[in-house]
């Protein structure tokens, strides 16, 4: 089974494009790819296959439910900028992290970012959602010549009714399309039902085939059939 990693202090956006196309991801200076993992379920760990996912942006279309989420959140303001790690973001992270089990809970933003994410290993960008003067959601993304890559997203759990996790991803899609990018990389999901299933609900979705080293149209229905057979 494929399980690779390396550390890199600096990397060009062009080379990151290549790595993303080969199923790689990174958190800060740690770059990795793996095709199998384990899923925590009822006090046991189930083996799962890892599925890298990306959206082919030229063919992406918003669903009715996604447009409804966009309309529901029109009262919030959006900021896009080079990353700035403020005390507000660290506090938002701590609140959002309580959603996870104690075993899987990340300790800090530096689980996902370098100490200098504005330059290392390449410039990271923020998409922020504000309710007047209050930061209620924030995502971290890489921008390459061909793509956006979602690194991490967090939101204020007091605003759960607004589907801010989906909303920020829809905002990333809009941003990437405005910049005429070809892909938006969503990271990894599993071949079994998991916390990451929200990534499977977007149109124009492609999945990476580890053995064939290629991207194909993601057939969610057939995957679910195999899972329950």
pLDDT digits (tens, 9 = 90+) for 178-204: 999 999 999 999 998 888 899 999 999
**Mean pLDDT, residues 32-59:** 91
Q: pLDDT value at position 101? A: 67
* pLDDT tens digits along 43-53: 778 899 999 99
**Mean pLDDT, residues 166-175:** 98
* Higher pLDDT, residue 59 or 102: 59
- The region of weakest confidence among 13-22, 100-109, 127-136, 172-181 is 100-109
> How many C-beta atoms lie closer than 10 Å to residue 191's C-beta?
17
The phi-psi region of residue 151 (left if phi > 0; otherwise alpha if psi is between -120 and 50; otherwise beta) is alpha
Q: pLDDT value at position 223? A: 41
**Mean pLDDT, residues 25-43:** 91
Is the pLDDT at 10 greater than 60? The verdict is yes
Question: Strands, DSSP E only, in the chain?
Answer: 3-7, 25-27, 30-34, 36-41, 44-56, 77-82, 124-131, 134-143, 147-155, 183-190, 205-209, 214-217
Which range of residues forms the domain containing residue 170?
3-228
Is the pLDDT at 1 greater than 70? The verdict is yes
Q: What is the CATH number of the domain that holds 150?
A: 3.40.630.30
Task: With beta carbons less than 8 A apart as the criterion, state whether 163 and 136 touch.
Answer: no
Q: In Å, what is the CA distance from 102 to each residue of 38, 40, 97, 165?
A: 16, 12, 9, 21
Is the pLDDT at 155 greater than 90? The verdict is yes
How many structural domains are present in the chain?
1
% of the chain surpassing 90 pLDDT: 83
Q: pLDDT value at position 83? A: 97
Q: What pTM was computed for the model?
A: 0.92
């Amino acid at each position: 089974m494929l399980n690779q990693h390396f550390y890199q202090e600096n990397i060009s956006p062009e080379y990151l494009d290549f790595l993303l196309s080969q199923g790689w991801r990174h958190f800060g200076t740690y770059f990795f790819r793996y095709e199998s993992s384990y899923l925590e379920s009822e006090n046991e760990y189930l083996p799962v296959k890892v599925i890298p996912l990306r959206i082919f942006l030229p063919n992406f279309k918003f669903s009715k439910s996604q447009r409804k989420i966009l309309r529901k959140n029109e009262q919030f303001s959006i900021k896009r900028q080079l990353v700035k790690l403020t005390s507000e973001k660290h506090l938002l992270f701590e609140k959002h992290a309580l959603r996870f089990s104690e075993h899987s809970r990340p300790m800090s933003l530096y689980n996902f970012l370098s100490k200098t994410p504005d330059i290392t290993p390449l410039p990271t960008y923020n998409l922020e959602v504000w309710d007047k003067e209050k930061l209620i959601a924030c995502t971290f993304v890489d921008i390459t010549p061909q793509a956006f890559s979602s690194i991490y997203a967090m939101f204020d759990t007091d605003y759960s009714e607004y589907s801010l996790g989906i909303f920020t991803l829809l905002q990333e899609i809009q941003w990437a399309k405005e910049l005429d990018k070809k892909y938006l990389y969503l990271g990894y999901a599993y071949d079994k039902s998991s916390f990451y299933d929200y990534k499977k609900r977007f149109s124009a979705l492609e999945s990476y085939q580890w053995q064939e080293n290629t991207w194909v149209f993601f057939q969610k229905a057939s995957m679910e059939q195999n899972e329950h057979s």
